[in-house]
Amino acid sequence: MSSANVVKDSWNEWSDTWYLKYRTEEAIARIIAAPASVFHPTTYEMIRKSFPDFTGKRILVPTSGDNHAVFAFHLLGAEVTSCDISERQLDNASMIAKKYGWDIDFQCEDTMTLSQVQSEEYDFVYTSNGVHVWIHDLASMYNNVRRVLKPNGMYMMYDIHPFMRPFGIKAKEALTINKPYDLTGPFGEVPTYNWRLQDILNAMLSSNLSVKHIEELYAEDGWFWVDDSTDEGEHLTTEEVDSYTDWRQNPSAAIPQWLSVKAIK
């Protein structure tokens, strides 16, 4: 079985199991109440500088995952297309959209090809946290991102900072090295990749996207450091969670946790 099929099959399974927590009524209600809360504040500020008004803007979100960014852009007034390799992720997101009467276009697409997406159709392409780890061919991804953008269209990424990847990150423990920074993968039975900063930026530049602005970001609060796959958070006080953002108490907080890059076609 090809690696793409392994990834697709895995996400189709995960979508109906552990990923359910991203589609609860409470999770969707938070997006409806405050769409901008889906984005890191600095990333959202970068977006708003280019798009003060989303009305009439066409936005593509490839590898849309939980579709929270998709829902937020729609609620903010944009015309949104959601693409993902997983049919179940799209089916589940589509059911939410139908429930609330949201007119969103869902397409099953590989981000490295975007084969059914027409060229020069979109004002803005946005990729969110967790995209790059599933991409084995960054050059193809960015060539197609550029292709589907209108002239002067904007691309923006928000993802885990590559500097986080070499470390075994545990709150308030000494930093330990899990792998060399240059070791990029693939890793695991369901293949993932730990791209370096140079890999991401060079792929953008090689596609003839013009990089305009970069922000290296820190977690909005201490919950970033809490493992949400366990019940760890239930036993922490507010003060303990807040202390995780202080690098003097939590050495891992000294490393930028997030990366946002803005580029123009």
Q: What is the CATH number of the domain that holds 79?
A: 3.40.50.150
Task: Output the average pLDDT for the chain.
Answer: 94
pLDDT tens digit sequence for 201-237: 999 999 999 999 999 999 999 888 887 766 666 778 8
Neighbours of 58 (CB within 10 A): 19
Structural domain tally of the chain?
1
Residue 186 region, left (φ>0) first, then alpha (ψ -120 to 50), else beta?
A: beta
Would you say residue 56 has pLDDT above 90? yes
Distance CA 131, CA 157 (A): 9
Q: The whole model's pTM is what?
A: 0.94
Range of the domain at 136: 3-264
Q: What is the mean pLDDT of residues 114-141?
A: 97
- What integer pLDDT is reported at residue 232 of this predicted model? 67
Among 146, 143, 159, smallest CA distance to 69 is for 159
> What percent of the chain is predicted at pLDDT more than 90?
80
Give 97's pLDDT tier (boundaries 50, 70, 90). very high
Distance CA 95, CA 125 (A): 23
Element (H, E) at 216: strand 210-217
Sequence letter at residue 154: M
Distance CA 127, CA 64 (A): 7
Contacts of 146 (CB under 8 A, 6+ apart): 155, 207, 208, 209, 265
Are 109 and 115 in contact by the 8 Å Cβ rule? The answer is yes
